[in-house]
Chains A and B, each alone.
Chain A
């Protein structure tokens, strides 16, 4: 795979040449000229190299690459990309500013609609959102040739964090009202920022010892450097938001006590989808079988990859099977590679086409040597005399008729069972909502899956209590959580400003 790997230098110099050619008339290019500009590949660390480190894999565009890529945007009339964005970013606006080299303007446009561009540029599933409908990709009959909006978003955000210098948003005079934000993931951070800007006092409560939610414990360093998340939190602190870590609402304090005893005027619940799903098959509690949450939390938040310094141990693995086909499965598999496993396998019961993971993550995993087993699933886990997992009994599948999700339903092929030797299994088949807060908050209405029920303004069944993100949606994405957070913040602001 690494033979196909374009070096950073090659990509950068090609872009320099191209930009020199188009720069003089970059604002007046004809659509035909724009369509002819080659899509800019994302420079990445060499696969052989990165298998042994935890540094970010995607290195980010150079300025020249960014401007060339941005020049591919046709500024088409109907802007399908904006409709594809859950928070409705003015995508052509910021992209054309990049093409012109006005990064400050690009950054300002982005910041109007998104609080976390450095995060979303890295982890959003752009190929199913803004880039899915891009006119350029459609005209070229290849969605992978759409304008790389996500990479441009990341480029602008990284520029701002580096050269541009992050400006702490202005905060209105105090309203005297206070809001408790439960959970410091993407939804909570957006709510905190939006409400603080309006002059409300905001306190974020986080159960872990570090804020950032899934961006800290779940998404690995090599995909989302923790320094970026920490910077975003610093900006919030600079705005006067208070963060209380090691505080689990529902246990340390009941949700209603926050309002009734501590005087918060409103509460936002953004506790995420934190209850790992297991397969409920034989042998699942054997030693060496982990939820992806546990495996990734040990590696990321607890920094177990740093074997010399971290006190938290992580399992020594030679042959790892990761069950699942989402981003979390890719993260777990690629983490296992970096922790030194000799073989890492993804086992997924549908085909690659149905995998919910970002295309780039699947590609990166393959480049790093992760072996994909599609149309297979674990049936039971087999342990040795000491209760450690030593094999999986797998069964093969074929695709049948489409199911409720529109994806073709995998059907077990009878009698196709086989044994697959492993010493570690990571179960990455999704998360349900964590019931901890709901259990201790009578009157908070939930659906049968335990997700909090909200109205169109993210309001729950309790007055003054709003919710958003995965605790409402079920396991979804950072950007959808942010979108819900934004909506909730507007509703909370209206609620606090009434009479």
Chain B
């Protein structure tokens, strides 16, 4: 496994797609699974990234990531032909793909990347797919074309109305839940606050909602417990029990607090400010209805 970067594409200002030579991972990987990578074996940090796609013929996997911290920043600086120092996977339990009927797939920002293979799997299993993609603005919207090929219906939302509806993803999600027959299932992947409010949106309608969590991890194999989350009454490890859980049972507030464990130490870069604003906006919106 050389972990060589075969292709690199900038999807939006801070979002990159890379295709990486990793034949064994490409062969074993199923939708919903992730890798742990590090860009430096001596002092690097190990971070989880969901596998966006894989090509077992070429022996490659596709990763889509947003530059949010040191490691992703460094990863974005690698070029075609460079190798990723460490790449471990596929990790986590794959998505449980089954035919349930009508599945609403909600993707926020970078969350559309892990959502795509799940939507594809669900479609292949015979489900009708409604996709809701959300982003702050049109420029930050990713994989719209790919999702439009999978989904029977595609709804775009942007915070500033630069594309599609000027709304949060929870709005069309609620409308779908209000319609009869209700969707049979929802899959929501995106920032924790979005997954939290998607889960809150579907809860009163009893629409089962699966979320995919992206927590702090070190080893990714169940050894450190850094990724633990409270699900119902139980503690679960995202790396081996997840990454997908019943959104109605996840303690998102605890999860978000844990994600911020090292925040005091990390430089408050521009992204963090924007994230804070986004959280505020969503909160305001939901509490206002």
Chain A residues close to B by CB (< 8 Å): 207-210, 217, 245-248, 251-253, 274-276, 278, 280, 284-288, 290-291, 293-294, 297-298, 302-303, 306, 309-313, 315-316, 386-388, 434-436
Contact = CB atoms under 8 A, between A and B. Distances in A.
B230 interface: yes
B223 A306 contact: no
B41 A209 contact: yes
Contacts of B41: 209-210
B222 A278 contact: no
Given A252-B90, A287-B258, A313 B266 contact: yes
B235 A387 contact: no
A177 B224 CA distance: 35
B218 A209 contact: no
B155 to A, nearest CB: 34
Nearest to A313: B262
Contact of A209 (B38, B91, B229, B266): B38
B240 interface: yes
A59 to B, nearest CB: 26
A499 B262 CA distance: 59
A293 B225 contact: yes
Contact of B28 (A246, A253, A316): A253
A285 B254 contact: yes
B100 interface: no
Given A310-B43, A312-B46, A247 B226 contact: no
Given A253-B28, A276-B223, A434-B222, 18 more contacts: A246-B1, A247-B88, A251-B90, A252-B24, A252-B88, A253-B24, A274-B223, A286-B254, A293-B224, A294-B218, A294-B226, A298-B218, A306-B43, A311-B70, A312-B46, A313-B266, A315-B262, A386-B257
18 contacts: A208-B219, A209-B46, A209-B86, A217-B219, A246-B86, A251-B28, A253-B24, A274-B223, A275-B222, A287-B258, A297-B218, A302-B46, A311-B43, A311-B44, A313-B265, A313-B266, A387-B257, A434-B222
B86 A387 contact: no
B253 interface: yes
B162 to A, nearest CB: 34
A429 to B, nearest CB: 12
A288 B91 contact: no
- Interface size on B, as a range, is 35 or more
A436 B266 CA distance: 32
B228 interface: yes
B129 interface: no
A440 B89 CA distance: 14
A268 B243 CA distance: 29
Contacts of B229: 285
B43 A207 contact: no
Given A248-B221, A434-B222, A209 B261 contact: no
A298 B226 CA distance: 10
Interface string B122-133: 000000000000
A312 B221 contact: no
A274 B230 CA distance: 20
A37 to B, nearest CB: 45
Nearest to B38: A209
B69 to A, nearest CB: 9
A248 B33 CA distance: 14
Q: Which 9 A-B pairs have the closest CB atoms?
A: A387-B257, A294-B224, A311-B45, A313-B262, A274-B223, A209-B86, A291-B225, A312-B45, A246-B88
Contact of B235 (A245, A284, A306, A309): A284
A285 B88 contact: no
B264 to A, nearest CB: 7
Nearest to A284: B235
Interface string B29-59: 0000000001011111110000000000000
B147 interface: no
A311 B42 CA distance: 10
A435 B240 CA distance: 9
A64 B230 CA distance: 58
A336 to B, nearest CB: 16
A291 B28 contact: no
B240 A436 contact: yes
Interface in B40-94: 40-46, 70-71, 85-91
B223 A248 contact: no
A303 B226 CA distance: 17
A311 B40 contact: yes
B56 to A, nearest CB: 14
Contacts of B87: 246
A302 B86 CA distance: 13
A475 to B, nearest CB: 13
Most buried by A among B88, B240, B262: B88
